[in-house]
Structure 1
Amino acid sequence: MATDMAHIAQLLDATLDAQHHRKAENSLKEEAKKPKYSLVLLSIVSTDAQPAKIRLAAALAFKNFIRHNYVDEDGNYKLPPDEVQTIKQELVGLMISSPSTIQTQLGEAISIIADSDFWERWDTLTKDLVSRLSPTDPKVTNGVLEVAHSIFVRWRPLFQSNELNREILHVVDTFGDAFVQLLAVADQQIEANQANETALKGWLETMSLLIRIFYDLSCQDLPPIIETNLKQITARLHKYLSYTNPLFNDEEDEATPLETLKSDICDALQLYANKYDDDFGEFVPEFTNVVWNVLSSVGPQKRYDILASKALQFLTAVASVPRHSEIFNNEQILGTIVEKVILPNVALRESDIEMFEDEPIEFIRRDLEGSDSDSRRRAATDFLRKLLENSEMLVTQVVFKYINHYLTLGKTDWKAKDTAVYLFLAIAAKGSITAAHGVKTVNSYVNVVDFFAEHIASDLDADAAVEPISKVDAIKYLYTFRSQLNKAQWDNAIQPLIKNLGSSNYVVYTYAAIAVERVLFLTDDQGQHILSRADIEPYAQNLLEHLFALVEKDTSPAKLQENEFLMRCIMRVLIVIREGVLTSGIESILGHLINITNVIKQNPSNPRFYYYHFEAIGAIVRFCSTSPNVDLLSQLWAPFSYIIIEDVTEFVPFVFQIFALLLELSPSKQIPASFKLLIDHILSPTPWETRGNVPPLARFLSAVIPKATQEIVAENKLVPILGIFQRLHEGKKTEQNAYDILEAIVGSFPASVLDPYFPEIIRLVFAKLNANNTDSLKARVARFFHLVSAREGDSGLGTDYFIKQAEAVQEKVFVPFYLTVILPTTSSFARPVDRKLGVISYTKILCDSQQFAHRYQKGWGFTCNNLLDLLKNPPRVAAGFGDEIVNEADVDDIGFGIGFTPLNTCKRGSRDDFPDILEVDKWVGLYMKAANQRHGGAIGKFANERLEPGVQAVLGPYLS
C-alpha cells in the first residue's frame, strides 16, 4: 500500500498542475480500477506528513470516486463488502479530525453514502455520532455535528414519503435527546468562555451547527421532542439574536461566528414562520421586534451582509402570513421600514463599487443570476415586493416619495439616482422576473415606458460624462422590462443598446451583451421573435466581430472563457441569423470559434462559456453544413480530433453531438474518410465509461451505421457494435440509447447479415421486458418490432422474420407479446413519427404476413382495427430538422458537470425511417390495392371473413 500511496500522491499532485493535469487524471482513472483505491485515498487524507494540497486533492478524489463507484443504479454495492465496511468505520472519525477544507469534501462523501445506505444499511451511524459528542471539546463536537448536518440537510428539498418519515423518526429517536442536552451545554460553555476568544468561537460554531440541525429536524414535520422543548429552544434563539460581545467588534469584512449564528437563527425562524404558524405564531411578534432591532443595529460592513439578508428574509416570511402582515399595513410604519430598512440595504456601498471596478464578472453574476440570493439588495427588494403584494397602492405612494426625492438629488449625485432607479425597479415589477421575458406584469400605479423616457433614456444614449453604473442601470432597466416594450419601441432602442457594446467598461459592455441576447430571444404571445433575422442581419457582421474581439482580448485560457455572457450573445446572434451567417463572414466567424476552441481545450474552466461556445458552432453546422461553399468537417476536424484523442472530458460530448449532426445533415450516402478513423475509437469500451459520453456516442454511432454498412460488414464490426448495444441495454439510464443503435442496425442491414445475431437480440429484449416492464421500454420495443415488420421486402426482414426468430427463442411467445405489448403500446404512441411507423408496419402485416394470413386469423382482425384507429388522424411527419431551434428552451437551469448536456442547436428530429412516404393514408390505400391484386383478392376476402361489417365499411375505401 505504501508504494501505491506514494504513486497516487504523485498523480494527485500532478492534477494540480495546469500543464500535466489531463495526463494525471487519466492515470488516476486507471488506478481507480484497482482494488482498495478508495482506502489508499483515505490513507493519504489521514497522513499529516502529506502536504495540505495533496490531502485536499485526495479528499476530493475520494468524494468523486464514491459518487461514481459506490453503488449502481439499483443501489447495489459496486465495491467489495469489506471495502464498504472499512470506509464506514474510518470515514466519520477521519472527517472529525481533519482540517475544515477537507471536512467539507469528506462531509459530502458521507452525504453521498448516506443517500444509498442511511439509515437501514448504516443504522449504527447516528448512535456512533452521539457517542462521539464532547461536552468539553468544541472541535470534536463540531466535527460530529458537521457530519450529522451533512446527512440531515438532504431532507430539506425532499417531498414527504413514508420512507423519509421513518428515517427522520429513527434520527429523532437516537439523536433528539442528545440534541436538546447539547443546546444547554453549548449555552453554558458560551457563558463560561465570554472572555476566551478561541473557546468562544468554537462554542458559537457549535450553537450554529445545532441551529442548522434544528432546521434539518423540523424541515418536514415538527418532531415531538422539539414541540415539547419549543419554549426553551425559542428562548435560546431570542437570547443569541440579541447577544453581543466586544471580542468581535474589530472585524470589518468577514462574518464572525456571532453573525453566522444569528443568520442561522433567522433561517430557522423563517422556516417556522412559514410552516408552523399554529405552534410558533405566538412568538412571531416578539421575534419580529428582535429581528427589526438586529437590522437597525448592523452597519454597512460586509461582515453583516448575510445576517442582514437573512433577517430581511424572516420579515418577508412574516409579511407572507395574513394574520401577521397587518402590522406592516400602515403609512407611518411603511415609511419607517423604507427609511430604516429598505434604503440602507439597497443603497450602493463602497464594497459594491469596489467589486464593480475590481471583480466585474463577479458583480454581474451576483446582480443578474440570483447568486446574490444572500445579498442585502436582493433581500430588501423581496421584502418590499411582499409588502407591495399586500397593499399595492399604499406601498407605491410611500416609496414614490423616496424615488422622487432621490431623483432630485440624482441630478448632481449619480449614487442617489442609482438608488431611485433601483427602488423603481423594485416596486414596478410584479411576480417573478423570468429568464425568458423579464417582467411580465407591472404595478398598475406606475408607467415603465414614461419613466424610462423621462429619467433613463438619456443615460443609455449619452457618449460621455455618464458614470458607468448609470449606464448599467439604463441597460438593466431595458433588460428587466423588455416585455413591456413593443416592436416599434425596440426598433428605436436596439441601436443605442448595441452601441454600448463599444464601451471601454467591462460591466457596461457585458450588460449590453446580456440585454441584446435576451432581446433576440424575446418572443410575443404568438411565439414570434420581437426582433427577427431581417432586423438584426444588417448589424450582425460588425456585432459578431466586436463580440469576438471582446472575448479574445486576453488569450490566457482562464481569462478568455471568463465571460460567458459575451459567448451567449454570439450564440444567440448566430441562431437568429441562421443561414445569414453565410453572408456575414462565415470564414472569419468559424476562425474565431476554432481559435477559441484551441485555447480553452488546454484547460476548460467555465462550463457555461464552453456550453454556449459549442452551441454557437452547432448553429453554424445546423444552418450552413449543406452549403456547397463551406466544408465544415475539414475545418473542425483538427481541433475536434485533438479533443477526442486527448480525451478532453468536458468537451467530448459536445464534439460527438456536432459530428453526429454533420453526418445526419450530409446528403452523401457514404461516411467521410476522416470519420472512418473514429469508428475503432468509439467501438472500444473506454469512451463509453464516462456517463456523459453515452448519449452523444450512441447518436454518432447511429448516424455512422447507415453510411458505413459495407465497412462494418467487411471489417466484422457488427459484433462490437452489438456488444455496445448489449452493454447500454443493461442500464436503466442507457436503455433508450441502446434502442437508438438497435434501430440503426435493423434499419441498415438485411436479414442475411443479421441472421446470426437476431436470436440473441430478441432474447435480450424479452429478458429486459420481463425484468423492467416500463412504458418507455415498451414504446422502444414496439418501435423496434414495427421497424423490422415494416422492412418487409428486399431486406428479407418483415413480420414473419420476427415471428420465426422470436419463436426460436421461446415457443408460442409471439401471441402474448403482440397482444400485451405491441397492440396497446402502439395505440398510445404520441409522436407522429412513431404512429407513422405503426401504420406502415400494420399495413404490411395485413398485406404480406403469411403467419397473420393463416395462423393468426384473429390477430389479423385486431391489427386491422388498430390500423384504422391510427388512420382516424393520419400522422403527418415534418420533413427535416424543422425550425424548433429558434424557440429552444432557455439554458439557465441546465445542470453542468458530470452528466450529459444536450446542445439545442444539435437537437435531432425524430427518426423517420420512411421519409419518402409523405401522406401515409394515401400510401396505405395504394399499398393495399396493389397487395390485394398481387394476392388474387385475398386481402378483400380476409376483410369480409374476419371483420365486423362496420369495420369493413371503414376499410373499404382503402381496398376499392
Structure 2
Amino acid sequence: LKAKQGCLRRACGYAHVRGRGRGGAGRPCPPREKEAMASDRAGMAQLAQLLTQTVAGNTQGMQAAEQQLRAAEIKPGFGLILLDLLRDNSIAAAARQAGAIYFKNYIRRQWSVEGAGGGVSASDRQAIKQHLLTLMLQAPKQIQVQLAAGLEEISVVDYPAEWQSLLPEMVQHLKTSQDLSVLRGTMETAHTVFLKFRSQARSEQLLKEIKYTVTGFQETHLEVFKAACQRTLGGGLTADQLVLHFELLRAVLGAFYSLNIVDLPEYYEDHSKEYFQGFLELLKFQHDAVAGKGGEQGPLEQVKGVICECFALYTDKYQEEFSQFLLPCVNAVWTLLVALDQQEKNDQLVAKGIHFLSSAAATHWNQSPFEDPAVLSGICEKVVFPNIVLRDSDVELFEDNPLEYVRRDMEAADQETRRRSSMDLVKAMGRLNEAKVTEILIGYVKVLMEQTRQVPAERAERFKDACIYLCIAMAVRGQTQREGVTVTNQNVNVVDFFASLVVPELNAKPPAQRSVPNELLRASCLKFVTVFRNQLPREQIGAVLPAICGHISVESPVVHTYAGICIEKLLTVRDKNGQGQSAPRYDPATMRASLLQMVEPILQTIAANKGIPMNEYLMRCIARIFSFLKQQGAETGLQTLRPLSAILVAMSANPSNPIFNHNLFEAIASIVKVCVPSQPDAVEAALLPSLGQILERNVSDFLPYTFQILGLLLDATPSVKPLYQELFARLLSPELWRAQANVPGLIRLLRAYFTKHALFGDLMRGHLQAILERFQFILCNRKTEGSAFELLNAMYTHLPLEFYQVHYKTLLTVILTRLHSSKSPKFQRDFVVSCSLFVHRQPNNIFPAVLGEIQAGLLSNLLGSLWLTVTKMALRLDERKVCTLALAKLMAQEEVKRNPQLMTGCCAGLISLMGLVQSQNAPAVAEDGSDDEAPPVDGGAGLDFEVSFSKLRNTDLPGAAAGLAPDVPDLRVAARALLQPLLAAILPLAQANAELQPLAVFIQ
C-alpha cells in the first residue's frame, strides 16, 4: 500500500510504513528518509504492541489498549496503517492476527458512519477497497478469514455502486491465476459478496445490482465450475488437491445459489444442463480425502448439501425450467439418503436432502413421483421413520451436551436436524396427499404403541418418544414462531393423544433412580404441550399444570429447561373474544401459586450453575412469569430482585452469554415495572448498588441494559438521587454513543430526563448542544439513523419548545442534508413521521416558517416529492395519527392552498392515511409492537447482538402513554375538526376528481 501523507500519519499517532516491494529493502534512502523510516518502524512496533495487548488476557491491559486504538481509529489513515501492518511479514504473527480481528471490527463500527459522524474518510475508503482483495488473497489463512469478513461488511454497503472495481478484479483473478489457493480465495470472496442478494427484499435496485453482477460474472463462473468438475471427477488429483477443488466448488455453488435466488438469469437457464449434469455427477462422487470424520462434515458433504439447496431453490421458484431435471434429481437424492449411514457428519446433508424432497413433494407437477402410494410408503419407511427415531448419539447428546440438545430440538431452532427435516417432509407430503400419508403414519404409531407393551421399559420409552414426534409431524400444518401451531390436520386428534400418552407420563412419579430414556420421554411430553399450547383446552392444561411446574425441580437439565420453555410459552397464549379482541387465556390469580413455586428452584439452579450454565431459557421463564402475573407477583418479585441483582454482579465479571444477559435484564425490568410505582425506594435499594458497579467498572456488555433500567427507575422516582445528577454529563460522552448497542438505552434514559425537565432544567439547557451533537452522530450512521429519530421524537414529545427553539433551524438543516444523501424508504418514513410529530405538537407555523428560512418553496417541494409518498407506506396507528393531523395543518398554509395540484395530492394522502376508501367507519388497527405480552427476544441465529439484543420490552411504567399520539384517542374526530375550515378549498377539488370525494364526504 502506498504511504499516506505524513500529516495523516502523525494525526493517527502512529508512523506509517513506507511502501516496500516484496523483495524487502527497496531503494536506498537519504539520511532524512532513513530517520523517517526509523520513526515509522517505531510507530508500527507501537501499534503491534497495542494489538497484541488486546488479546493478551490481562483485562486491565486489554481495556487500556482498546481505548488507545479506539481513539486512533477515528482519525484519517488508520485503516491503511492497519493494512500495512498486516502485510508486513516482519511483524509477529500474534500481532498481525490481532490486527486482522481489529480491522474487521473497525470496518463494522466505522464503515457505515458518514459525514459529520466521523467514520472512514473518502480517500481512505478508496485506498482500502483498492488493495483489500489482493492483500487478502496473499495473507495466511487465519488473517484471510478476518479480512474476508471485513470485505463482506464493505461490500454490503458499497457493492456494486460504490465499488465498481471489485467484480472486474475478481473475474481477472479467476481468469488468469494458476494458483489454486488464489482461485479458491477469489471464488469464496465472490460467494461472500453475493450473499447480500439472499436477504434483500425484491426491488428495482436489487434487480439492477444482480443484472450487473450476472453480466460480468456468468461466463467465468461457468468456466470455473466446468473446469473444477472435470478435474475433480477425472480421478487424477492428489488428496490435497482434491480438498482445494472441493472448497472451490463449495464457493462456486454458493455463488450459483445467490445469483439465482431472486430471478432465473437467462444465461443460467440456457446453461442449466451443464450445471445440473455436474450437480448429479458430484452427488455420486465418493472419496475419503474429502469426506468428514466422526461428527464433522467434510467438503464432500458440504458440496452435496449445497447442491440439494440448489435443487430445492429451483423446485420452489422455477418449476417449469426444473421439470426436466425433477426425476433424475429426486432419484439421485433418494439414492443418496438411503445410502447415508447414521453418523453425525451426515446430519446436515440428510436434512438438506430431505428438505429438497419436501419442496418437491409439496409442489404440483405434471408427472409427480409422489402420487404413487408405494413411493409415499417407501419414503415414510426409508427416510421419515429412521430419522425421527432417536439414535444412540442423540441420547449421548441429551446427557453430555444438554444445551446443544435443547437448541437443536426447541421451537424455532436450527432446521438442519434429521428429526426436524423428517417432520417437515411429512407436512410437505401431507399438503397434496394428507389422508394417505396420515393413514400410513397412524399405522406406524399403532404398531409402535403395541410394541411398547412387549419390549423392555427403556426401549418402550424410545418408541413412545418416536410416537410423540410422529404425531407432531402429522398434526402440524401451520405455525409461527410467536403464536405456535395455528393450523392442524383434522385427521389427527391431538387432544385424545395428549390424554392417552402425554398426561399419564407427566403425572407419573419419576423413577427412583435416574433413567435417561424416561427423562427423554418426559422432555418430549413437555415439548408436545409447548407445540400444541393453542389446541389443548385450558381445563386439561390446568389439570396437568402442577406436574409441568414440578418438572422445574427435576435434575435432568433438558427436562427442567423444557419445563421452563413450556410454561413460558403457555403464558403467551391468547384467545379472541366476540369483539375480535385478544386476551390471555390463563388467569394470573388462578396460576399464581403454581408459577411462584417455580421461581426459587430456578434461581437456585442458575445461581449454583447446575445443569446448563447461564440457562437463558430458565431466565426467560422468570421474566415471563412476572410479566404475566403483574401485581399478582409484586411481593415475590420484590424479594426476587436481590438474588437477581447478585446474579447480575456475578455475570458482570465475565458476561459471556448475551442471550442470558438479555433475559436477566428483562426479568429485572419486568419486576421493576410492577414494583417501582408503589415501592421506588425498596427497588432502588435492591438495584442501584449493582447498577452503580456496572457503571463504575464500565461493563460494556451491560451498559445498554443499565441505561434502560435507570430510565425506568428515574421515571418512577419521586425524589431525584444524586446519581442521576452526576450521571447526566457522562451520558453524553462520544465514546458511549460510538457503541451501537448503547444507543437505545441512552435514548431511553434521556427520555426520562426529558420528562423531568422541570427538575433538570439547568442541566438540560447547559448540555443541549451536546445532545444535538450526539443526535447528529447517530443520524450519520446507517445502523443507528432510526434511533436518531427516536431521540428527536422524545425531545419533541417531552421537552418544551423553548429549550431547543434556537437550535431548530440548524437541526432541520442537518436532517435535510442527510435526507439528500439517503434514498432509504425507511429513512424517508422516519423523517416524515418525526416532522409530523413536531407539527402536531407545536404551534402551526413554526415548521413551515423554518423551512421557508432555509429555502423558499421548500415546504411545497418536500410535500410533493417525499411527504405524500410516505402517506402510502405501511405505518403504525400512532404514526398515521400524527401524519394525518400534521398534513391537515400544513394544508392550511397559504403556500399549499394556492397550489391545486399539491392540495389534490394532500387530499389523496389523507384518504390513504385514514383508510377512507375501504370504509368510512373502519376500525383503527392496533398499535404494533406495544404489547407487553409479546415474547422476549429468542436469540435466533443470525441476529446481530449489538443491534437486536439491547432493547428491553418492559421499560415503560404501567399505564405510560404509548405511541406518538396518546393525546388523540379518536383520529377521525380530531382530523375532521382540523379539516372542516378547509372544506371550501377541498370541495371544488373533489367535484373535479371523483377519487377525492370520500374525503369531502368524511369532512361533511
- The bucket for the TM-score relative to the shorter chain is 0.7 to 0.9
1:898 to 934, 937, 946: 946
* TM-score (norm. length: structure 1): 0.82
Distance in 1 between residues matched to 2:795 and 2:750, nearest whole Å: 10
**Which region of structure 1 is more displaced relative to structure 2, 258-267 or 467-476?**
258-267
Q: SS of the residue aligned with 2:667?
A: helix
The answer for the alignment partner of 2:790 in structure 1 is 737
Q: Which residue identity does 1:678 align to in structure 2? A: L
Q: CA deviation at 1:136?
A: 5.3
The answer for the alignment partner of 2:6 in structure 1 is none
1:707 to 756, 764, 767: 756
Distance in 2 between residues matched to 1:809 and 1:530, nearest whole Å: 56
Distance in 2 between residues matched to 1:152 and 1:460, nearest whole Å: 49
Q: SS of the residue aligned with 2:575?
A: coil
The answer for the alignment partner of 1:58 in structure 2 is 99
**Is 1:139 aligned to 2:139, yes or no?**
no
Q: CA deviation at 1:778?
A: 3.8
The answer for the alignment partner of 1:199 in structure 2 is 241
Asked if the contact 1:803/1:814 (under 8 Å) is kept, the reply is: no
Asked if the contact 2:757/2:799 (under 8 Å) is kept, the reply is: no
Q: Deviations over 1:327-363 (max 9, x none)?
A: 2233322222111111222221122122111111011
2:627 to 561, 575, 580: 575
1:272 to 314, 339, 343: 314
The answer for the alignment partner of 1:416 in structure 2 is 463
**Is 1:216 aligned to 2:258, yes or no?**
yes
Q: Which residue identity does 1:343 align to in structure 2? A: F
Q: SS of the residue aligned with 1:591?
A: helix
**Is 1:639 aligned to 2:690, yes or no?**
yes
The answer for the alignment partner of 1:696 in structure 2 is 745
Q: SS of the residue aligned with 1:79?
A: coil
Q: CA deviation at 1:297?
A: 0.8
Q: Deviations over 1:692-716 (max 9, x none)?
A: 3333323322321453546543783
1:781 to 815, 829, 835: 835
Q: CA deviation at 1:82?
A: 4.1
2:171 to 130, 145, 156: 130
Distance in 2 between residues matched to 1:823 and 1:160, nearest whole Å: 23
Distance in 1 between residues matched to 2:431 and 2:619, nearest whole Å: 37
Q: SS of the residue aligned with 1:221?
A: coil
Mapping for residues 503-522 of structure 1, pairs under 5 Å: 503-522=554-573
Q: CA deviation at 1:572?
A: 0.5
The answer for the alignment partner of 1:253 in structure 2 is 295
Q: Which residue identity does 1:395 align to in structure 2? A: V
Q: Which residue identity does 2:467 align to in structure 1? A: A
1:96 to 131, 137, 142: 137
**Is 1:594 aligned to 2:645, yes or no?**
yes
Mapping for residues 474-623 of structure 1, pairs under 5 Å: 474-526=525-577, 527-554=582-609, 560-561=613-614, 563-584=615-636, 586-587=638-639, 589-623=640-674
Q: Which residue identity does 1:694 align to in structure 2? A: V
1:453 to 488, 499, 523: 499
Asked if the contact 2:878/2:963 (under 8 Å) is kept, the reply is: no
Asked if the contact 2:233/2:285 (under 8 Å) is kept, the reply is: no
The answer for the alignment partner of 2:707 in structure 1 is 656
Q: CA deviation at 1:271?
A: 1.7
Q: CA deviation at 1:566?
A: 0.5
Q: Which residue identity does 2:267 align to in structure 1? A: I
The answer for the alignment partner of 2:7 in structure 1 is none
Distance in 1 between residues matched to 2:116 and 2:270, nearest whole Å: 37
Q: Which residue identity does 2:103 align to in structure 1? A: F
Against the structure 1 CA distance between its residues 97 and 672, is the aligned structure 2 distance closer, same or farther, given a 3 Å change threshold? same
Q: Deviations over 1:862-909 (max 9, x none)?
A: 9xx999x99x999x99xxx99965433553377442226321111474
2:277 to 227, 235, 247: 235
Against the structure 1 CA distance between its residues 212 and 722, is the aligned structure 2 distance closer, same or farther, given a 3 Å change threshold? closer
Q: CA deviation at 1:568?
A: 0.4
* TM-score (norm. length: structure 2): 0.79
Asked if the contact 2:747/2:790 (under 8 Å) is kept, the reply is: yes
Asked if the contact 1:806/1:814 (under 8 Å) is kept, the reply is: no
Q: SS of the residue aligned with 2:686?
A: helix
Distance in 2 between residues matched to 1:634 and 1:324, nearest whole Å: 72
Mapping for residues 376-391 of structure 1, pairs under 5 Å: 376-391=418-433
Q: SS of the residue aligned with 1:211?
A: helix
Q: Which residue identity does 1:393 align to in structure 2? A: A
Q: CA deviation at 1:689?
A: 2.4
Q: CA deviation at 1:585?
A: 5.8
**Which region of structure 1 is more displaced relative to structure 2, 91-100 or 293-302?**
91-100
Asked if the contact 1:436/1:522 (under 8 Å) is kept, the reply is: no
1:79 to 110, 120, 129: 120
Distance in 1 between residues matched to 2:798 and 2:497, nearest whole Å: 63
1:468 to 506, 515, 519: 519
The answer for the alignment partner of 1:796 in structure 2 is none
Against the structure 1 CA distance between its residues 492 and 131, is the aligned structure 2 distance closer, same or farther, given a 3 Å change threshold? same
Against the structure 1 CA distance between its residues 22 and 425, is the aligned structure 2 distance closer, same or farther, given a 3 Å change threshold? farther
Q: SS of the residue aligned with 2:487?
A: strand
Instruction: Name the Cα RMSD after superposition.
Output: 4.6
The answer for the alignment partner of 2:26 in structure 1 is none
Asked if the contact 2:116/2:780 (under 8 Å) is kept, the reply is: no
The one of the two structures with greater contact order (alpha-carbon pairs below 8 A, sep at least 6) is: 2
Q: SS of the residue aligned with 1:441?
A: strand
Asked if the contact 1:39/1:83 (under 8 Å) is kept, the reply is: yes
Q: Which residue identity does 2:442 align to in structure 1? A: F
Aligned length: 899
Distance in 2 between residues matched to 1:58 and 1:811, nearest whole Å: 48
**Is 1:283 aligned to 2:337, yes or no?**
no
Q: SS of the residue aligned with 1:521?
A: coil
In structure 2, the gaps of 5 or more residues are 1-15, 17-40, 988-1004
Q: SS of the residue aligned with 1:535?
A: helix
Q: SS of the residue aligned with 2:196?
A: helix
Asked if the contact 1:63/1:108 (under 8 Å) is kept, the reply is: yes
Against the structure 1 CA distance between its residues 541 and 60, is the aligned structure 2 distance closer, same or farther, given a 3 Å change threshold? same
**Which region of structure 1 is more displaced relative to structure 2, 7-16 or 768-777?**
768-777
The answer for the alignment partner of 1:429 in structure 2 is 476
Against the structure 1 CA distance between its residues 917 and 716, is the aligned structure 2 distance closer, same or farther, given a 3 Å change threshold? same
Q: CA deviation at 1:256?
A: 2.8
The answer for the alignment partner of 1:795 in structure 2 is none
**Is 1:624 aligned to 2:675, yes or no?**
yes
Q: CA deviation at 1:446?
A: 1.7
Asked if the contact 2:97/2:142 (under 8 Å) is kept, the reply is: yes
Distance in 2 between residues matched to 1:304 and 1:27, nearest whole Å: 47
Distance in 1 between residues matched to 2:867 and 2:466, nearest whole Å: 66
**Is 1:113 aligned to 2:154, yes or no?**
yes
The answer for the alignment partner of 2:28 in structure 1 is none
Q: CA deviation at 1:69?
A: 1.7
Q: SS of the residue aligned with 1:898?
A: helix
**Which region of structure 1 is more displaced relative to structure 2, 76-85 or 333-342?**
76-85
Distance in 2 between residues matched to 1:153 and 1:913, nearest whole Å: 37
Q: CA deviation at 1:637?
A: 1.9
The answer for the alignment partner of 2:77 in structure 1 is 36
Q: Which residue identity does 1:567 align to in structure 2? A: M
Distance in 2 between residues matched to 1:104 and 1:578, nearest whole Å: 48
1:687 to 736, 739, 753: 736
Q: Which has the larger radius of gyration?
A: 1
In structure 1, the gaps of 5 or more residues are 790-798, 929-941, 949-960
Distance in 2 between residues matched to 1:786 and 1:260, nearest whole Å: 57
